Chain A
Amino acid sequence: MNQRHLPEHPDFLWANPEPKRRYDVVIVGGGGHGLATAYYLARYHGISNVAVLERGWLAGGNMARNTTIIRSNYLWDESAAIYEHALKLWETLEDDLDYDVLFSQRGVLNLAHTLQDVRDSVRRVNANKLNGVDGEWLTPEEVAKICPILNTSPDTRYPVLGGTWQPRAGIAKHDHVAWAFARQADAYGIDLIQHCEVTGFLRDGDRVVGVDTNRGPIRAGRVGLAAAGHSSVLADTVGIRLPLQSHPLQALVSELLEPIHPTVVMSNHVHVYVSQAHKGELVMGAGIDTYNSYGQRGSVHVIEDQMAAALELFPIFAGAHLIRTWGGIVDVTPDASPIIGLTPLENLFVNCGWGTGGFKATPGVGWVFAHTIATGEPHPLNEPFSLTRFTSGALIDEHGAAAVAH
C-alpha cells in the first residue's frame, strides 16, 4: 500500500497567542466586524495593543453563515451614507489588505411585484441618486435582459413589474474577507484569541476596565462589543438593556452548477435573494424564523417557503438540488438599523443590531467603530445610529429597504 503524504500546510495567516493580562483595547467577538475594527484601530489610529476575543473560532458565526451580498441602495440618508461608505471601502479593499476576497461587482436587482413595490422602488432609486448612490429603475424587459433566467412573464402569481438596479453592488467571498482582515491585524501585532469566551465585565464604578473570560480576567482601557446575536446576553451582565431580539436566520446552497445566474436578485415581496457563488453554488437566504432563539438552526418550513418562491421566479432551478442549509443568530432592532456607539458605561462601546444585513457593512463598520473606540466619540457616519435614538424617537426606519431581504 502506498504511503500517502498530505501536502505541506500553507503558512498560517495569523498566530494563536496566549492572552496578555492587559490591552489598550479589547474587542469582544472575532467575526468580520470585530476583525475589521481591530485592523482599522491599528491602521488609522495607531492603536495596536489590541485583543480580539472570540469564544469559538475566528469568523465562525454569522461571518461564515451569510449570503455575501454587498449593496448600498438604502432609502434614508443616514443609511445610504454608512452603507455607501462601506461600499467605497469594498472597492479598494483587496489592494488595502493585499488579499483576494473575490469582490465581484455584478450588480443587484431588487424586484417589484405590486404597485406599491413599484412606487417604493422608484422613490428609493431617486433617494439613492440624491445621495450619490448608483441606481436606476428598470422595466421588466430591461430586467430580463440583465437576468435572462428570471421568469418575467405576466402569468405568474406575482409578476415582475420592474426592478431597481445597483450596478456597483455584488458579492464577495466571506471567509476570504475575514482572513484578509485577520492577517493584516495580526501583522500589526494585534492578538487574535480564539476559544476565549467573555463571561462578564470588570468595572470600576461606571467605568468598564476589562472583561472576565473563561481564560481569566483581561484588563482593557476600552472595550468594544461586536457580538452580533449574543450582544444582549453580554450587555445583560453589566445591566445594559439593548433593544434587540435574537432570531435564527437560515440560508441554503445548491450543488455546484455551471454559471447560469449573472447577478444578484432580491425580491422582498415573494421573499427571495439569490446569487451564484464563484464556485458555482446557488446561494439563497430565507427569512428569519419568527421566534426568539439562540440555537443556530431553524424550522424546515422556512426553507421550503424560500425554495417555493425561488422556483416561481427561476423555473430553471427546478433541476437543482438542495445540498446544505444552516442557520445563524441575528440580532434585530425595532427599526431594522444597527446600533453603533457609546453605552451608559464609560469605555464600553457597542456595535450590534445589524440583524440580517451586517456582512455588506463589514469594512464600514470596522472603520467607524474603530473611530468611535479610539476617540471616545462617534464618527458623524455612525452618530445617528446611537442607542439613544430609541428614547429620542429619531429612528432610522429601514424596514422597507432592509427588513426582509439582504
Chain B
Amino acid sequence: MLLIRCPWCGEREETEFRYGGQAHVAYPADPESLSDQDWAEYLFFRDNPKGLFAERWVHADGCRRWFNTVRHTGTSEFEGTR
C-alpha cells in the first residue's frame, strides 16, 4: 500500500486516491494542424520510464483535488508533491 502525500490533506493511504497517469500532457494547442502521427502521440503514447516519473493523482475519497507527484517507478518512493 502506497502512502501518498496530498498537498492539502497530508499523507494518506493509496485507497483514498485514483491514479491519473503521466503529468504535464497538454491538449494540443492547434488540434486542426495535427498529423495522424501527432494525434497518435497525444492519444496513445505516454512515457513509461523505469525511474523518476511525473504523474497525477486525485484525492478522490478526500478533498477531491488533483495534484502532481514525482515517484520512482522502481522503488515507488515519492520525490515530491505539488
Contact = CB atoms under 8 A, between A and B. Distances in A.
Given A295-B75, A299-B14, A391-B37, A244 B48 contact: yes
Contacts of B50: 230, 233, 246, 294
A291 B19 contact: yes
Nearest to A300: B1
A233 B71 CA distance: 17
A334 B21 contact: no
Contacts of B25: none
B55 to A, nearest CB: 7
Contacts of A290: 18-19
B64 interface: no
Q: Is the interface of B mostly helix, strand, loop or mixed?
A: mixed
B36 interface: yes
Interface in B12-56: 14-15, 18-19, 21, 36-37, 39-41, 43-46, 48-50, 53, 55
Contacts of B73: 246, 292-295
Contacts of A299: 1-2, 14
A334 B45 CA distance: 9
B48 to A, nearest CB: 4
B10 interface: no
Interface stretch (A53-61, A147-155, A235-243): A235-243
A294 B53 CA distance: 12
B48 A301 contact: no
A241 B18 CA distance: 26
Given A301-B15, A391-B36, A243 B74 contact: no
Given A245-B46, A301-B1, A301-B14, A391 B40 contact: yes
Looking at chain B, what size class is its interface with the partner chain?
Answer: 20 to 34
B55 A291 contact: yes
Contacts of A295: 73-76
Contacts of B18: 290
Nearest to A299: B1
Given A294-B73, A299-B14, A391-B37, A236 B46 contact: no
Contacts of A294: 50, 73-74
B29 to A, nearest CB: 20
Interface in A282-297: 290-295
Given A243-B45, A300-B1, A292 B55 contact: yes
A300 B55 CA distance: 22
A301 B61 CA distance: 15
A232 B76 contact: no
A315 to B, nearest CB: 25
Contact of A390 (B44, B49, B53, B71): B44
Contacts of B36: 391-393
A292 B48 contact: yes
B68 to A, nearest CB: 14
Contact of A236 (B37, B40, B41, B49): B49
Nearest to A231: B48
A236 B45 CA distance: 13
B66 to A, nearest CB: 15
Contacts of A301: 1, 14-15
Interface in A14-30: none
Interface of B: 1-2, 14-15, 18-19, 21, 36-37, 39-41, 43-46, 48-50, 53, 55, 71, 73-76
23 contacts: A232-B48, A232-B49, A233-B48, A236-B49, A241-B41, A242-B48, A243-B45, A246-B50, A246-B73, A290-B18, A291-B2, A291-B19, A291-B71, A291-B76, A294-B50, A294-B74, A295-B74, A390-B43, A390-B45, A391-B36, A391-B39, A391-B40, A392-B36
Given A292-B21, A292-B73, A392-B36, 10 more contacts: A242-B48, A243-B45, A290-B18, A291-B71, A294-B50, A294-B74, A295-B76, A299-B14, A331-B48, A390-B40
The 9 closest A-B pairs by CB, nearest first: A232-B48, A290-B19, A391-B40, A243-B44, A294-B50, A390-B44, A334-B44, A299-B1, A390-B40
